[in-house]
């Protein structure tokens, strides 16, 4: 618990209305999009970097944990205050500071909503490429912390490929700047290091990002299959023909029926799976690739291949994909989203394993994922209020991730490790690699006060995660 004297100090920094500490207010900040919870002792909403610095120094003085938070849409517990302490919410730091279209750059505060940046520049022929499914709500600061992806990052890359520079505040209040608008400033790539560090190294207060020019032509196709495995095989064959769509998404029958009932996007309810494929580029290239992709789809058993004829039809197909998670709420009171990665050649095999896990645990599992880069998102439907069902759900999720590792994959492609999967990190990395990560993290966060209990394995229970004074040689993962 916080000392009562700390609340007035925080109010002096950010103003009375920007400090939340009543139980009813804190309940809104005890969860994100995952299945875990943890309540902070207070929430502070700074408006400037200087205020973030003052908050960090106050937390250091009282040896309090600090957790940064964007919109709370994360799916691995990254924005949950696992050890209590002060939560720093960036909702008020939401300004686009600079648009430099001539150099294809933008400078933003961390609370800028992802889609708002694209909306600010699309009228002039530009866009921001990383596009998580939550892009209408998620913030760029959160995207940086989790190294978020999205459907269109198959060709454009994940967030780190579009972050050029950062301003960040360390746990002791030190402000650092790394990278910038230049293509390569030299020195160590600290911006790349901090991107994806899940808030365990610094609080991001300013971001320099790359903007992209809008393509000459966009073409969107929907391939319909009776068998999900045939859709998975199609992905492998598209890659074999050296075609890289900007998006290659798959929805299985369970998912597409939920989506269609909610959004009326035009997905066939009787299908076993669909592939949503998008091409961008020069007109001649896109037209030729579309013909070749349709051929590949039909050779792999697609019973139908549709092409969106208008921007409205294209938007409707993407409405179904982007609103899929919301559609689940019509069917199930709760769901658990996983984020494993497998080689593209193992997608069909992985789908078969997921369906076996579904039968084994008596749980409905739907699949919607970035098939082009093998980033699987099995979604397990359950009732959160039934403890035994939650336990089975977590066990099913762990089995799926372990299978992903066994076929040469990973436990996360874009959602982050957070507190959901940090104890699985030893399945991916040998002890020496984990120790090096911990030593590097401790350079920035020596007292383990910044987002404790995340990303790296703790080997501890929740009550043991509260930060302890540094002893220098200790490896506090």
Q: Rounded distance, CA 418 to CA 40, Å?
A: 16
Q: Rounded distance, CA 343 to CA 373, Å?
A: 7
Which among 313, 423, 334, 409 has a CA at the least distance from the CA of 369? 409
Residue 275 burial class via C-beta count within 10 angstroms: exposed 0-12, middle 13-18, buried 19 and up? buried
Q: Rounded distance, CA 402 to CA 414, Å?
A: 17
Half-sphere exposure of 243 (CA within 13 A, CB side): 27
Residue 188 burial class via C-beta count within 10 angstroms: exposed 0-12, middle 13-18, buried 19 and up? exposed
Give residue 169's region: left, alpha or beta (phi > 0; psi -120 to 50).
Answer: beta
Asked if 371 and 248 count as a contact pair (C-beta separation under 8 A), the reply is: yes
283-299 helix and 228-240 helix, angle to the nearest 10 degrees: 140
Q: Write the CB contacts of 399 (distance below 8 Å, at least 6 apart in sequence).
A: 357
**Alpha carbon 406 to chain centroid, angstroms:** 23
Q: Write the CB contacts of 115 (distance below 8 Å, at least 6 apart in sequence).
A: 131, 135, 136
Q: Are strands 42-44 and 86-89 parallel, antiparallel or unpaired?
A: parallel
Q: How far is CA 169 from CA 21, 183, 304, 445, 449, in A?
A: 23, 23, 53, 11, 13
Per-residue pLDDT of the chain (477 residues; tens, 9 = 90+): 788 899 999 999 999 999 999 999 999 999 999 999 999 999 999 999 999 999 999 999 999 999 999 999 999 999 999 999 999 999 999 999 999 999 999 999 999 999 999 999 999 999 999 999 999 999 999 999 999 999 998 999 999 999 999 999 999 999 999 999 988 788 899 999 999 999 999 999 999 999 999 999 999 999 999 999 999 999 999 999 999 999 999 999 999 999 999 999 999 999 999 999 999 999 999 999 999 999 999 999 999 999 999 999 999 999 989 888 889 988 999 999 999 999 999 999 999 999 999 999 999 999 999 999 999 999 999 998 899 999 999 999 999 999 999 999 999 999 999 999 999 999 999 999 999 999 999 999 999 999 999 999 997 644 344 443 333 333 333
Asked if 166 and 194 count as a contact pair (C-beta separation under 8 A), the reply is: yes
Asked if 58 and 27 count as a contact pair (C-beta separation under 8 A), the reply is: no
Extract the tokens encoding 421: 């999967």
Q: How far is CA 123 from CA 59, 94, 118, 126, 213, in A?
A: 43, 21, 9, 7, 11
Domains of the chain: 6-89 (3.30.43.10), 96-213 (3.30.465.10), 217-313 (3.30.70.2190), 332-406 (3.30.70)
Locate the DSSP E strands across 111-190: 126-127, 163-169, 175-179
Q: Which residues of 226-255 are buried (b: 16+ CB within 10 A; e: fewer)?
A: ebbbbbbbbbbbbbeeebebbbbbbbbbbb
pLDDT at 460: 61
């Amino acid at each position: 618990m916080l000392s009562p004297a700390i609340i007035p100090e925080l109010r002096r920094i950010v103003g009375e209305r920007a400090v939340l500490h009543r139980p009813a207010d804190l309940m809104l900040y005890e969860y994100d999009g995952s299945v875990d919870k943890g309540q902070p002792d207070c929430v502070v909403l700074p408006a400037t970097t200087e205020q973030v610095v003052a908050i960090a120094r106050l937390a250091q003085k009282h040896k309090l944990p600090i957790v940064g938070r964007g919109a709370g849409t994360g799916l691995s517990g990254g924005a949950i205050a696992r050890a209590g302490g002060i939560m720093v919410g960036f909702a008020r730091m939401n300004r686009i500071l600079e648009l430099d279209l001539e150099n294809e750059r933008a400078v933003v505060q961390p609370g800028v909503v992802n889609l708002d940046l694209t909306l600010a520049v699309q009228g002039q022929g530009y866009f921001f490429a990383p596009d998580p499914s939550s892009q209408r709500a998620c913030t760029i600061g959160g995207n940086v912390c989790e190294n978020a992806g999205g459907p269109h990052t198959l060709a454009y890359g994940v967030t780190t490929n579009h972050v050029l520079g950062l301003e960040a505040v360390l746990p002791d209040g030190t402000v650092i700047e790394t990278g910038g608008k230049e293509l390569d400033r030299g020195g160590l790539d600290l911006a790349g290091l901090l991107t994806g560090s899940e808030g365990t190294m610094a609080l991001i207060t300013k971001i320099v990002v790359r903007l992209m020019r809008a393509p000459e032509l966009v073409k969107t196709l929907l391939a319909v299959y009776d068998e999900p495995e045939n859709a998975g095989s199609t992905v492998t064959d598209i890659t074999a023909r050296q075609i890289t769509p900007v998006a290659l998404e798959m929805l299985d029958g369970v998912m597409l029926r939920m989506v269609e009932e909610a959004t009326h996007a035009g997905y066939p309810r009787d299908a076993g799976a669909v592939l949503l494929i998008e091409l961008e580029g020069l007109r001649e290239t896109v037209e030729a690739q579309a013909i070749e992709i349709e051929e590949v789809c039909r050779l792999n058993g697609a019973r139908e291949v549709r092409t969106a004829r208008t921007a409205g039809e294209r938007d409707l197909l993407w409405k179904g994909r982007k609103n899929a998670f919301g559609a689940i709420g019509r069917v199930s009171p709760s769901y658990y989203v996983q984020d494993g990665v497998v080689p593209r050649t193992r997608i069909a095999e992985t789908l078969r394993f997921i369906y076996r896990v579904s039968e084994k645990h008596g749980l409905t599992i739907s699949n919607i994922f970035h098939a082009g880069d093998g980033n699987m998102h099995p979604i397990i439907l359950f009732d959160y209020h039934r403890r035994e069902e939650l336990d089975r759900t977590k066990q099913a999720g762990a089995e799926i991730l372990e299978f992903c590792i066994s076929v040469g994959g990973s436990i996360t492609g874009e959602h982050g490790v957070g507190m959901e999967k940090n104890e699985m990190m030893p399945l991916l990395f040998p002890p020496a690699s984990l120790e090096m990560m911990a030593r590097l993290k401790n350079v920035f966060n020596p007292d383990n006060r910044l987002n404790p209990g995340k990303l790296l394995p703790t080997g501890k229970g929740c009550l043991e995660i509260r930060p302890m004074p540094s002893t220098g040689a200790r490896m506090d993962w």
